[in-house]
Structure 1
Amino acid sequence: MKYRFRFTIAVFVFFFFKLTRDDFRNELFHWDKGTWISLAYTVIVILALWEIVARYIYATSNKTSINSNKGLYILSTKATLLMLPLVFLFAYIYDNILQYISCCPEHYYGSFLINAAQGFVISLLIIAYEIIILYVRNAIKSAREKEQIQKELAAAKLESLKNQVNPHFLFNSFSVLSSLVEDDSKQAIEFISKLSDMYRYILENDEKSVVDLKEELDFLDSYVFLLKMRHQSGILIKNELTIKNSNLQLPPMSIQVLVENAVKHNHFSMDDPLEIRISNDEERAIIVSNPKRKKENLAPGTKIGLKNLSNRLQLASGRTLEITDNDEIFQVRLPLTSS
């Protein structure tokens, strides 16, 4: 289908130029050896140029170049420069060789400059067509990907909220709280305060794609407090963040998801605590890492939480999580964006 369309366009181009020449116009229906050779050569050249342009644009284009005016201009310029020597080569062959093969007079084929100019215009039209088609296809693909990510984001937000309010989580929280009420009323009050801060944050930011890093870290403090109250010294959270920029953002509850993932999939106890390290790569990313200590009889993880977080990040900033998973360590690099 693709080559049939190109072949049709090539034949149309031949007849168009045939009608625009005085010596051809009067003999539109007169076909001799030179006419057939000219038609065949025109079709072959246009198909060759088209294939070269299409393959070059497809091979050198990327999402960044297609989505920016500057990228499209650079791509068009490179393709044009690639076509120039080919256009002159084909024009030279057409003007200086075919007339001897077909035994036709020199004026039958026109001048070298006219043929080169016509070939150049055809090349520009082909380049414009291929870039437009590539841009439209990329726009359609991006729209579909964005729609899919939005669906997954909505599901991720709902799942995140469900994970925080499910009966199991509340049961554990209330169990800890009941013990604190009997043993330490002051800590019980702080526990209630942190728990309420967590839910307030979740409800207030559930519809947002990104939040300020400071807000996320305040939320993380509340979550870590609840973790430590529940697991005591079994969990060691090492906060090594050195970020001072207040304009950095990330998806809500993202660091908490990474910490929760470490707690969920690794064995730990008070005698053998799990160390979770939270650091940063300058102001480019948050890094959460922990040693691999797989729990016994733990079902294989689906990594849905990490996938949902990666999709949320993709929708918000166009980036994804960078995961390092080996026998010794599990590490996730969470890119930051500037507001």
Structure 2
Amino acid sequence: MLFSTRLRYVYMLGLAAYTFANVMLMEALPYYGLPVAGGYVLALFVVCVGLIWEGNRLIGRYVPALARGLGKGSGRRVHPLLLGFGLSLPLTLVVVGGPALLLGRYCELPPDKLRLGLKLVLAVGFRINLFLHTLNAAFVLLQELRRSQVEAEQFKKISLQAQFQSLKDQVNPHFLFNNLNVLSALLYQDVNQAAEFVQQLSKVYRYVLQNQEKEVVEVAAELEFMESCAYLLRARFRGSLRIDIAVPPALHRRHTVPVALQMLLDNALKHNISSRSRPLLIEIFATPDHEQLVVRNTLQPKLAVEPSTHLGLENIRRRYGFVSPRPVEVARDAHSFSVRLPLLNLGDEGMKR
């Protein structure tokens, strides 16, 4: 905020001196017949500019909370800059009119000259206030622009990190070894199924490469990607893993962050036992209000867990934090572990841009 800058006292004196110089160069005092010494006028401008500035700085401390309170009461968002300017108008009237009236009385101006002087000083004071609020608005908007650019860069970095990790997980030797083993077995059992396996494997790579730089993707595309991942995993784990995907078609046009579902799927497999005697169930569905996607798995933890890369849930939370005010919700009970992802709508006001 401009009013809280460290050099504000320098700016106050400069603005007061500039205003005084303009008044003197225009010979406003002799023109209107105001018998007031130049030194008094300079002191008046210094006092008025200082009071306007400091008053606006004080208002700025409470405006954000007041704007939120008014927004809750009326249902409409009140912009803090507009609210601050509105509150500054009566402030200007008091802090400019008061000192000007005292100076006029001190100089023993007649009533008509006193009224004229008050009008002139108030006109100058309101212009100073408008000028300061215009600069402050530019200052605040520039800060918000810089902040949004930094957030965009942070989001891009996090998103690319997640996409890179996902791609790395898909191409690491362990992943390739497992899927090549499955493929070699299928070649002896069912050539058609082996061809389908290769096709689904290619879809997994294609999706990650095509969406690695996107902030959000349609739910339909993410679910199609998940079906390919599920096909590969079902072929690998056979009867020890169940993956049920049931998301209504009406939600397919909504959006989510890319690869989030696959990261949660990998997280469930990494931390839980899956065997024929204890099949691991992973479900993907929507909440009844159609506002969240849920990834839920039965809770059967491994005794020894692989080292974590620390990307998982924290990465998903941070990426959602850039595109939605609604949080990612995590729930755990004695039988299951679930993660709820907000469904995004690009037309919603709630989505951050």
Q: Which category of TM-score, normalised to the shorter sequence, fits these structures?
A: 0.7 to 0.9
**Equivalents in 1 of 2:258, 2:47: separation in Å?**
62
**Equivalents in 1 of 2:251, 2:298: separation in Å?**
29
Equivalent residue pairs, number: 329
**Equivalents in 2 of 1:16, 1:292: separation in Å?**
77
Equivalent residue in structure 2 for 1:80, among 50, 71, 85:
85
Instruction: Check the 8 A contact 1:212/1:248 in 2, yes or no.
Output: yes
Find out whether 1:289 has 2:296 as its counterpart. Answer: yes
Written as runs of structure 1 = structure 2, the 5 A alignment for 1:1-339 is 1-16=6-21, 18-19=23-24, 20=26, 21-23=28-30, 34-35=40-41, 38-39=44-45, 41-52=47-58, 54-55=60-61, 74-100=79-105, 102-105=106-109, 107=113, 110-185=116-191, 187-281=193-287, 282-298=289-305, 301-310=308-317, 317=323, 322-326=328-332, 328=334, 329-338=337-346
**Equivalents in 2 of 1:182, 1:129: separation in Å?**
75
Deviates more, 1:160-169 or 1:228-237: 228-237
**Equivalents in 1 of 2:145, 2:66: separation in Å?**
17
Opposite residue 168 of structure 2, the aligned amino acid is: K
Opposite residue 90 of structure 2, the aligned amino acid is: P
**Equivalents in 1 of 2:19, 2:114: separation in Å?**
14
Q: Which runs of 5+ in 1 are unaligned?
A: 63-69
Deviates more, 1:226-235 or 1:184-193: 184-193
Three-state SS of the structure 2 residue aligned to 1:111 is helix
Three-state SS of the structure 2 residue aligned to 1:301 is coil
Q: Deviations over 1:243-266 (max 9, x none)?
A: 325533434433222212221223
**Equivalents in 1 of 2:235, 2:139: separation in Å?**
59
**Equivalents in 2 of 1:135, 1:232: separation in Å?**
56
Instruction: Check the 8 A contact 2:293/2:343 in 1, yes or no.
Output: yes
**Equivalents in 1 of 2:135, 2:67: separation in Å?**
15
Q: 1:205 to 1:323 in 2, by over 3 A?
A: same
Q: Which runs of 5+ in 2 are unaligned?
A: 1-5, 69-75, 348-353
Instruction: Check the 8 A contact 1:284/1:335 in 2, yes or no.
Output: yes
Instruction: Check the 8 A contact 1:234/1:274 in 2, yes or no.
Output: yes
TM-superposed deviation, 1:235: 2.5
Q: 1:337 to 1:43 in 2, by over 3 A?
A: closer
TM-superposed deviation, 1:236: 2.6
Three-state SS of the structure 2 residue aligned to 1:244 is helix
Three-state SS of the structure 1 residue aligned to 2:329 is strand
TM-superposed deviation, 1:54: 4.1
Normalised to the residue count of structure 1, the TM-score between the two structures is 0.78
Opposite residue 11 of structure 2, the aligned amino acid is: R
**Equivalents in 2 of 1:125, 1:220: separation in Å?**
56
**Equivalents in 2 of 1:111, 1:29: separation in Å?**
10
**Equivalents in 1 of 2:114, 2:306: separation in Å?**
79
Instruction: Check the 8 A contact 2:283/2:297 in 1, yes or no.
Output: yes
Normalised to the residue count of structure 2, the TM-score between the two structures is 0.76
The CA RMSD measured in Å over matched residues stands at: 3.8
Q: 1:301 to 1:61 in 2, by over 3 A?
A: farther
Deviates more, 1:14-23 or 1:83-92: 14-23
Three-state SS of the structure 2 residue aligned to 1:286 is strand
Opposite residue 277 of structure 1, the aligned amino acid is: E
Q: 1:297 to 1:110 in 2, by over 3 A?
A: farther
Three-state SS of the structure 2 residue aligned to 1:337 is coil
TM-superposed deviation, 1:91: 3.7
TM-superposed deviation, 1:226: 1.6
Opposite residue 295 of structure 1, the aligned amino acid is: K
What fraction of aligned residue pairs are identical, expressed as a percent?
27
TM-superposed deviation, 1:133: 0.5
**Equivalents in 2 of 1:87, 1:29: separation in Å?**
22
Instruction: Check the 8 A contact 1:234/1:271 in 2, yes or no.
Output: yes
